[in-house]
């Protein structure tokens, strides 16, 4: 075989002006909701609906938040926006909800906690949303959950992994993204497998992490588990949005790692990967587990031309196991964006809107308590498969005998590791190397 709660102080925004944010690719009709007072400060918010859908005076509004500008992961936010627009289009094409059209109110979190708190408050207090979906960065999800809890508004988080988001056990907070600690366990099992079964030398791992509510706990969990597996590790932290990694890369180089793992998000993850390659310790020189922004294939190859052989963690089932919902979504997403394939967080963003729509329909009302109660008992079949929240007010973590982190948590998101093995290939067709259940090919272990 070749192995080649403290509740944050909320920001009061005095000046609001709506921006119409168009979806990438296929044109979408937008209706703008403009709010202003004595000043002309700009705030990025838009109302987006199905192409050609006439919006009456009493729509059901669902908030959608994700990063659309730096230092947040813009490529991630744009993918989530496109996916949520597809969901809203489908809902409106099917007659809307409760006989009313859906408006998707889009806000830009910028990947910043203070911004996330501010726009979450705006969605509830000024735009009158009945529920919120989205979330890319954990640090934003951590504060958004507090706002949702404070106002009793249900929120379904699509890509925020920090364990504390669910472990606080707020009635309003649901998550279909995986738990950070569980993903770290998969990461380490993959590295153990590389060492024990794939024959790779793996004595020391360097972790490059951002100093956020995502990166810090993820690095801590990974380092602890690596230690238990007999693998040394060294962690280097950087601020979110870091562009120049030259100094850190020299220090990493001095460690002579057998594998490099990136826990930096957004465009920073691309900069780190390519700058590492330029310094001779990139994915083609040292086995590298790249951040999952590498799943955005077009942006990845444009920014990391030397990124071949990156390992990438992907959430969700591999393409050969896609259900009809996933296949239909994929076709619509590719047509709308011009991409080949869809990222895991795009699938999750789509499902976050659709599961809220199903809850509103089944509840027969937009009352928050009714939506929350319905979500607790929901059985939704979406692009990620069948989603339920089995640990809830009727089956508490104590009663279920599980850790509080499983509260309102989708328990079964699949986690795989894929590897780019051909320059320019899309992430959907990339070789699945782990776990064995889903493997489509062997890993290529560089530099050994």
What confidence tens digit (pLDDT) does each residue in 248-263 have? 999 999 999 999 999 9
Structure confidence at residue 183 (pLDDT): 96
Between residues 3 and 294, the one the model is more confident about: 294
pTM of the model: 0.85
**Contact at 8 Å (CB) between 233 and 222?**
yes
**Contact at 8 Å (CB) between 329 and 342?**
yes
Between residues 17 and 307, the one the model is more confident about: 307
Q: Which residues pair with 289 in a beta bridge?
A: 261, 311
What confidence tens digit (pLDDT) does each residue in 365-403 have? 999 999 999 999 999 999 999 999 999 999 999 999 999
199 has pLDDT over 80? yes
What confidence tens digit (pLDDT) does each residue in 155-178 have? 999 999 999 999 999 999 999 999
What CATH class has 181-318+414-438? alpha beta
Q: Please, which pLDDT band fits residue 48 given cuts at 50, 70 and 90?
A: low
Structure confidence at residue 12 (pLDDT): 32
53 has pLDDT over 80? no
- Rounded Cα–Cα distance for residues 212 and 209 (Å): 8
The CATH superfamily label for domain 45-179+340-406 reads Response regulator (3.40.50.2300)
What confidence tens digit (pLDDT) does each residue in 296-334 have? 899 999 999 999 999 999 988 888 889 999 999 999 999
When pLDDT is averaged across residues 90-102 and rounded to a whole number, the result is: 97
Q: What angle do CA 285, 290, 296 make, to 5 degrees?
A: 120
22 has pLDDT over 70? no
Between residues 16 and 409, the one the model is more confident about: 409
Share of the chain above pLDDT 90, in %: 81
Closest CA to 72 of 115, 130, 8, 125: 115
Q: Please, which pLDDT band fits residue 37 given cuts at 50, 70 and 90?
A: very low
Closest CA to 48 of 66, 61, 37: 61
Buried b (16+ CB within 10 A) or exposed e, 336-345: bbebebbbbb
Q: Which residues pair with 231 in a beta bridge?
A: none
Weakest-pLDDT range from 23-27, 75-79, 97-101, 127-131? 23-27
Coil, strand or helix: which one is 260?
Answer: strand
Domain with CATH 3.40.50.2300 in the chain: 45-179+340-406, 181-318+414-438
90 has pLDDT over 90? yes
- Rounded Cα–Cα distance for residues 48 and 360 (Å): 19
Q: Which residues pair with 132 in a beta bridge?
A: 63, 155
Listing DSSP states for 268-291 in one string gives HHHHHHHHHHHTT-STTTS-EEE-
**Contact at 8 Å (CB) between 296 and 76?**
yes
Whole-Å CA distances, 409 to 164, 177, 180, 223, 402: 11, 8, 12, 24, 12
Q: Please, which pLDDT band fits residue 341 given cuts at 50, 70 and 90?
A: confident
- Rounded Cα–Cα distance for residues 143 and 156 (Å): 14
| List of residues 6+ apart from 248 with CB closer than 8 A | 208, 236, 238
Q: Please, which pLDDT band fits residue 5 given cuts at 50, 70 and 90?
A: very low
- Rounded Cα–Cα distance for residues 130 and 35 (Å): 19
When pLDDT is averaged across residues 193-214 and rounded to a whole number, the result is: 96
**For the chain, what is the mean pLDDT?**
88
**Contact at 8 Å (CB) between 307 and 294?**
yes
84 has pLDDT over 50? yes
What confidence tens digit (pLDDT) does each residue in 205-218 have? 999 999 999 999 99
Whole-Å CA distances, 366 to 88, 312, 370: 16, 39, 7
């Amino acid at each position: 075989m070749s192995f080649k709660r403290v509740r944050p102080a909320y920001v009061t925004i005095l000046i609001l002006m709506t921006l119409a944010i168009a979806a990438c690719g296929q044109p979408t009709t937008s209706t703008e909701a403009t709010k202003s007072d004595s000043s002309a400060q700009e705030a990025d918010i838009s109302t987006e609906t199905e192409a050609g859908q006439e919006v009456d005076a009493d729509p059901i509004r669902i908030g959608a938040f994700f990063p659309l500008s730096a230092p947040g992961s813009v490529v991630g936010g744009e993918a989530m926006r496109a996916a949520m627009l597809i969901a809203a289009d489908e809902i409106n094409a099917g007659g809307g909800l409760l006989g009313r059209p859906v408006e998707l109110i889009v806000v830009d979190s910028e990947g910043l906690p203070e911004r996330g708190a501010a726009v979450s408050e705006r969605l509830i207090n000024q735009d009158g949303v009945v529920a919120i979906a989205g979330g890319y960065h954990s640090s934003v999800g951590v504060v958004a959950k507090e706002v949702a809890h404070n106002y009793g508004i249900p929120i379904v988080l699509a890509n925020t992994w920090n364990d504390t988001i669910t472990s606080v056990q707020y009635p309003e907070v649901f998550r279909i993204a995986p738990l950070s600690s569980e993903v770290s366990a998969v990461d380490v099992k993959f590295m153990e497998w590389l060492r024990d079964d794939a024959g790779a030398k793996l004595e020391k791992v360097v972790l490059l992490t951002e100093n956020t509510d995502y990166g810090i706990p993820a690095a801590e969990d990974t380092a602890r588990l690596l230690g238990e597996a007999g693998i040394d590790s060294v962690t280097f932290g950087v601020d979110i949005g870091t562009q120049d990694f030259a100094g850190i890369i020299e220090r990493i180089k001095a460690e002579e790692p057998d594998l490099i793992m990136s826990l930096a998000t957004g465009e920073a993850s691309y900069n780190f990967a390519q700058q590492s390659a330029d310094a001779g310790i990139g994915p083609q020189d040292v086995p590298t587990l790249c951040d999952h922004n590498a799943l955005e294939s077009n942006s990845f190859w444009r920014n990391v031309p030397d990124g071949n052989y990156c390992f990438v963690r992907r959430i969700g089932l591999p393409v050969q196991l896609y259900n009809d919902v996933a296949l239909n979504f994929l076709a619509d997403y590719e047509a709308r964006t011009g991409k080949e394939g869809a990222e895991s967080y795009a699938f999750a963003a789509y499902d976050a809107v659709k599961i809220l729509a199903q809850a509103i329909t089944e509840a027969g009302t937009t009352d928050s308590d009714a939506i929350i109660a319905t979500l607790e008992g929901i059985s939704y079949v979406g692009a990620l498969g069948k989603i339920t929240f089995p640990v809830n007010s009727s089956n508490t973590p104590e009663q279920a005998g599980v850790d509080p982190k499983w509260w309102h948590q989708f328990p079964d998101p699949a986690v795989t590791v894929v590897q780019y093995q051909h320059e320019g290939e899309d992430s959907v067709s990339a070789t699945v190397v782990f776990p064995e259940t889903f493997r489509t090919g062997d890993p290529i272990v560089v530099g050994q």
